[in-house]
A and B are shown apart, each in its own frame.
Chain A
Amino acid sequence: MNPNFDDIGETIGAPLLENGSAKINCNDVNVFYDDKHAIRKVSVDIGKNEVTAFIGPSGCGKSTFLRCINRMNDTITSCRVTGEVNIDNINIYNNELDVVLLRARVGMVFQKPNPFPKSIYENVAYGPKIHGLAQNKAELDEIVYTSLEKAGLLEEVKDRINQPGTGLSGGQQQRLCIARAIAVHPEVILMDEPCSALDPIATAKIEELIDELKQNYTIIIVTHSMQQAARVSQRTAFFHLGYLVECDDTKRIFTTPDHKLTQDYITGRYG
Chain B
Amino acid sequence: MIKNRLKRRYLFEKIFRFMGLSAVVTALAMLAILFLTIISNGYSAFKQTYIRLTVTLDEEVIDPDGARNPDTLSSANYSGIVKKTLRKIFPDVKSRRDKRELYSLVSQGASFQLRDIIMDNPDIIGETVTIWVPADDDIDMLFKGYIKRSTPENERRVSDKKIAWIDVLLNEGAIKKRFNSTFFTSGDSREPELAGIYGALKGSIYTMIVTLLLSFPLGVATAVYLEEFAPVNRFTDIIEVNINNLAAVPSIVFGLLGLTIFLSFFGLPRSAPVVGGLVLTLMTLPTVIIASRAALKSVPPSIREAALGVGASKMQSVLHHVLPLAMPGMLTGTIIGMARALGETAPLLMIGMVAFIVDIPKGFFDPSTVLPVQIYLWADSPERAFLERTSATIIVLLAFLIIMNALAVVLRKKFERRW
Contact = CB atoms under 8 A, between A and B. Distances in A.
Interface of A: 70, 72, 75, 77, 100-101, 103-104, 107-110, 112, 114-118, 126-127, 130-131, 164, 166, 177, 180-181, 183-184
Contact of B419 (A77, A100, A117, A131): A117
Given A77-B232, A116-B303, A130 B309 contact: no
Interface in B302-355: 302-313, 316, 320-321, 325
Q: Which 10 pairs show the lowest CB-CB distances between chains A and B? A: A104-B311, A127-B310, A114-B302, A108-B309, A103-B311, A117-B419, A114-B306, A164-B419, A100-B313, A100-B311
Contacts of A101: 311
Given A110-B302, A114-B306, A131-B311, 15 more contacts: A75-B304, A77-B232, A100-B312, A112-B302, A114-B300, A114-B302, A116-B321, A118-B418, A126-B312, A127-B311, A130-B310, A130-B312, A164-B419, A181-B310, A184-B311
A114 B321 CA distance: 12
Nearest to B301: A75
B400 to A, nearest CB: 34
17 contacts: A70-B309, A72-B309, A77-B231, A103-B309, A104-B310, A110-B302, A110-B305, A116-B307, A116-B321, A118-B418, A118-B419, A126-B307, A126-B320, A130-B316, A131-B311, A180-B306, A184-B310
B419 to A, nearest CB: 4
Interface of B: 231-232, 300, 302-313, 316, 320-321, 325, 418-419
Given A77-B232, A166-B419, A116 B311 contact: no
Contacts of A183: 310
A92 to B, nearest CB: 13
Contacts of B310: 103-104, 107, 126-127, 130, 180-181, 183-184
A110 B306 contact: yes
B326 to A, nearest CB: 12
Nearest to A114: B302
Nearest to A104: B311
Contacts of A77: 231-232
A150 to B, nearest CB: 15
Among B305, B308, B311, max chain A CB count under 10 A is at: B311
A110 B232 CA distance: 26
A177 B310 CA distance: 10
A184 B303 CA distance: 18
Contacts of B313: 100
B306 A130 contact: no
Contacts of B305: 72, 75, 108, 110, 114
B226 to A, nearest CB: 14
A109 B306 CA distance: 8
A166 B300 CA distance: 14
A117 B311 contact: no
Contact of A115 (B306, B311, B325): B306
Given A112-B302, A117-B419, A72 B308 contact: yes
A104 B311 CA distance: 5
Contacts of B325: 117
Contacts of A72: 305, 308-309
Contacts of B308: 72, 75, 103
A77 B231 CA distance: 8
B241 to A, nearest CB: 20
Contacts of A115: 306
A116 B305 CA distance: 10
B309 A181 contact: yes
Contacts of A166: 419
A140 B311 CA distance: 17
B396 to A, nearest CB: 40
Nearest to B418: A117
Contacts of A177: 306
Contacts of A130: 310-312, 316, 320
A77 to B, nearest CB: 6
Among B231, B232, B310, B325, max chain A CB count under 10 A is at: B310
A184 to B, nearest CB: 6
A266 to B, nearest CB: 30
Contacts of B312: 100, 126-127, 130
Contacts of B306: 110, 114-116, 177, 180
A114 B302 CA distance: 6
